[in-house]
Amino acid sequence: MAPRPVLLTIDDDPEVLRAVERDLRRKYGQEYRVLRADSAKSAMALLEELKRRGDPVALLLADQRMPETNGVDFLERAMPLAPGAKRVLLTAYADTDAAIQAINKVRIHYYLMKPWDPPEQNLYPYLTDLLEDWRSTYRPPFDGIRIIGNRWSPRAHRIRDFLGRNTIPFQWLDLDTSGEARDLLAMLAQPSAEDKSASATRHEGHDARTLTPPVVLFPDGSYVADPELPELASHIGLRTQAERPFYDLLVVGGGPAGLAAAVYGASEGLKTLLVEREAPGGQAGTSSNIENYLGFPTGLTGADLARRAVAQARKFGAELLTPQEVRGIRTQGTYRVLTLGDGSEVSSRVILVATGVEYRKLGVPGDDALTGRGVYYGASLTEALTCRGEDIYVVGGGNSAGQAAVYFAQFARSVSIIVRGDGLAESMSQYLIDQLNAVPNIRVLSRTRVAAVEGDGHLERVTLVCDAETRTVPAASLFVFIGAVPRTDWLGDLVQRDEFGFILTGPDLPRAEGRPAAWPLARDPYLLETNVPGVFSAGDVRHQSVKRVASAVGEGAIAVQFTHRYLAET
Ligand SMILES: Cc1cc2nc3c(=O)[nH]c(=O)nc-3n(C[C@H](O)[C@H](O)[C@H](O)COP(=O)(O)OP(=O)(O)OC[C@H]3O[C@@H](n4cnc5c(N)ncnc54)[C@H](O)[C@@H]3O)c2cc1C
């Protein structure tokens, strides 16, 4: 619920202050929050806090005669902190001249005479009129997390992407284009009266004077500057540490395969822990529209699928750690042990590796320096709004590139799809090709490859090679979808993989004399079981798997059936 707008009254005389507050509450207390301050200094501190929290201020009602400053000066100083608020001066008869001059000087909206009794006659009519005026132009503020940063900062991109993929709504305030963003950052960087005393601890120990963007501002007014993802995760209530040392089933990876395993495992009574490095949903979570998943004829976004799956897994009691990376695996007798990114360990009898794949890099000059600064791997749906009105490029001819092009075309002026082949027919589903053809601002550059990316601090130019012709075109955003590779190095020598790093399971395991090499059990490995009994693999990371959401989900569910069998036999 959006916070109620604030009416702030300021007076050094405690009796007058209480009386104004009482009368304001009586008439406006339902609709507005009435706050009071006994000095200009404390009022400024309060306004700073309200600004940090994004709470709207509708009215400032200040007494003209105060010891350390007068009401006019206060209202003038308060303007940048509450620019939209109506400013009203409370004066004695003797100060009427000063009040009239102030109307011109600091654009005071009204002055009221003390005493104002009866308020029905001398206070409410004027204030109601001003507040109605304020309401007519008031737009409720964004009531959630705000991020202040530079569009081209990879750190800011990472935070936006992380929040977006965890379906946490946020408002992006760009320092390059938004005056509000710059004002807010400047205010946070100023040591306020309060900061000097108490807030050093309140703001996580950051020295407000050396505030490095991106800054993440929470609805309660607290903030963190340039946070690491685990720090941010703890602020938004995501767990990164396991509750117990031992589980029935440990799932590595929170894509469709891992989430399905968590849902089926937990719903069938297994104590299940899922560890996800970035955000639940995996590759599917970055899809703008999955149209071929059973039961969703009009499609659904990957974020929606992930959100539903997470809710379902939690409902059945699965524990999710995110963002948390698995860095190592070992066996200890019948126990299977995982080492996490923070050095802690969790163990179980069964582990499911469902770590999927990651995008292959372009590998052209400039790529490393500009990744996250205009060159993006994957759909990065959170970047769509910043591409509004621009000419953007999508590299790749697969379904993921096609989906992204259709999505970005809603925001960008034009979308150019760069493909090496003669067209899209070999690599993209027909339904997506039909969609692309129907969007006028999408074009396909066939027999073309990216040779270099350049720019000073962010992407500015892309060099394209088509047949024998090379040309350099201006570009601000390039989204790359050129195939994917598994990242399975953390499995060390324990789990066998093929030459590309995909995990071998069941019938695919190399055999000697009819049996998998060094396999210790009398039975053969199950369909999704690796060369280590009790360590299973599902989804895109598995050798020769079908790279589809439905098959990943199916394999995750099947892996749970094998888990039951394995637990029963051990
Ligand atoms: C943009 C896009 C659009 C797509 N559209 C469709 C579509 O319309 N229909 C369709 O059927 N398929 C689609 N796909 C393919 C589909 O998304 C994948 O086949 C599916 O997501 C594979 O699921 P998975 O669980 O095996 O792996 P992934 O989805 O890759 O998930 C693996 C997860 O493991 C995590 N992880 C990796 N290593 C670690 C580690 N060491 N520790 C902890 N966590 C780790 C990763 O962060 C990731 O979240 C699309 C793919 C993309 C990229």
Q: How confident is the model over 156-181, as pLDDT tens digits?
A: 999 999 998 888 889 999 999 998 89
Quick count: other Cβ atoms within 10 Å of Cβ 133?
12
Query: Which residue's CA lies nearest to atom 22 of ligand 1?
Result: 540
pLDDT at 326 over 60: yes
Domains in the chain, CATH or no CATH each: 6-137 (3.40.50.2300), 145-235 (3.40.30.10), 246-358+485-569 (3.50.50.60), 367-480 (3.50.50.60)
Cα–Cα distances (Å) from 130 to 36, 85, 126, 220, 385, in that order, read 19, 10, 6, 28, 36
379 lines ligand 1 (CB under 6 A): yes
Ligand 1 atom showing the smallest separation from residue 326 Cα = 42
Q: 104 Cβ partners below 8 Å, 6+ apart?
A: none
Task: Report how far residue 547's alpha carbon sits from residue 554's, in angstroms, rounded to the nearest whole number.
Answer: 12
pLDDT at 1 over 70: no
Contact 5, 30 (CB under 8 A): no
Task: Report how far residue 103's alpha carbon sits from residue 101's, in angstroms, rounded to the nearest whole number.
Answer: 5
Q: How far is the CA of 502 from the centre of ligand 1 (A)?
A: 14
Task: Report how far residue 350's alpha carbon sits from residue 563's, in angstroms, rounded to the nearest whole number.
Answer: 7
Q: How far is the CA of 147 from the centre of ligand 1 (A)?
A: 27
pLDDT of residue 199: 43
Q: 514 Cβ partners below 8 Å, 6+ apart?
A: none
Task: Report how far residue 22's alpha carbon sits from residue 17's, in angstroms, rounded to the nearest whole number.
Answer: 9
pLDDT at 193 over 60: no
DSSP 66-135: -SSSBHHHHHHHHTTTSTTSEEEEEE-GGGHHHHHHHHHHS---EEEESP--SHHHHTHHHHHHHHHHHH
232 lines ligand 1 (CB under 6 A): no
Q: How far is the CA of 434 from the centre of ligand 1 (A)?
A: 25
- Span 267-320, pLDDT tens digits: 999 999 999 999 999 999 888 889 889 998 888 988 899 999 999 999 999 999
Per-residue pLDDT, averaged over 455-474, amounts to 95
pLDDT of residue 191: 66
* DSSP tag of 212: P
Cα–Cα distances (Å) from 7 to 43, 131, 277, in that order, read 12, 10, 45
265 lines ligand 1 (CB under 6 A): no
Ligand 1 atom showing the smallest separation from residue 325 Cα = 42
Burial track 507-536 (b if 16+ CB lie within 10 A, e otherwise): ebbeeeeeebeebeeeeebbebbbbbbbbb
In the chain, % of residues over pLDDT 70: 96
pLDDT at 204 over 60: no
Nearest Cα to Cα of residue 351 among 523, 502, 567: 567
Ligand 1 atom showing the smallest separation from residue 327 Cα = 41
pLDDT of residue 200: 40
CA atoms within 13 A of residue 249's CA, in its CB half-sphere:
38
Contact 325, 280 (CB under 8 A): no
Q: 30 Cβ partners below 8 Å, 6+ apart?
A: none
At 214, the pLDDT band (50, 70, 90 cuts) reads: very high
- Span 422-442, pLDDT tens digits: 999 989 999 999 999 999 999
Query: Which residue's CA lies nearest to atom 35 of ligand 1?
Result: 253
398 lines ligand 1 (CB under 6 A): no
- Span 242-254, pLDDT tens digits: 999 999 999 999 9
The helix or strand, by DSSP H or E, that contains position 263, with its residue range, turns out to be helix 256-267
Query: Which residue's CA lies nearest to atom 8 of ligand 1?
Result: 290
pLDDT of residue 202: 44
Query: Which residue's CA lies nearest to atom 26 of ligand 1?
Result: 539
pLDDT of residue 208: 46
